[in-house]
Homo-oligomer: A and B are copies of this chain.
């Protein structure tokens, strides 16, 4: 699933590591998600959205056709 994490993170001048620490995960987790290696858990998705000041459905782009 696509996401806007990298864009929003840079807009707030966070490094991957800073965002990771703010969300309570490791740098590798943020890196993997930004590079579409896998999707975060729902819990982490909410934390990231909260930190980046957007809603989950704004941070992650999900398309019905996947249904």
Name A's B-contacting residues (CB within 8 A). Answer: 1, 23-24, 39-43, 45-47, 49-51, 55-57, 60, 62, 64, 66-67
Contacts and interface: CB of A to CB of B under 8 A. Distances in A.
Given A50-B62, A50-B64, 16 more contacts: A39-B41, A39-B42, A39-B43, A40-B42, A41-B41, A41-B42, A42-B42, A42-B60, A43-B66, A45-B45, A46-B57, A46-B60, A46-B62, A47-B67, A55-B56, A56-B56
Nearest to A60: B42
Contacts of A47: 66-67
A39 B41 CA distance: 8
Q: Chain A: interface secondary structure?
A: helix
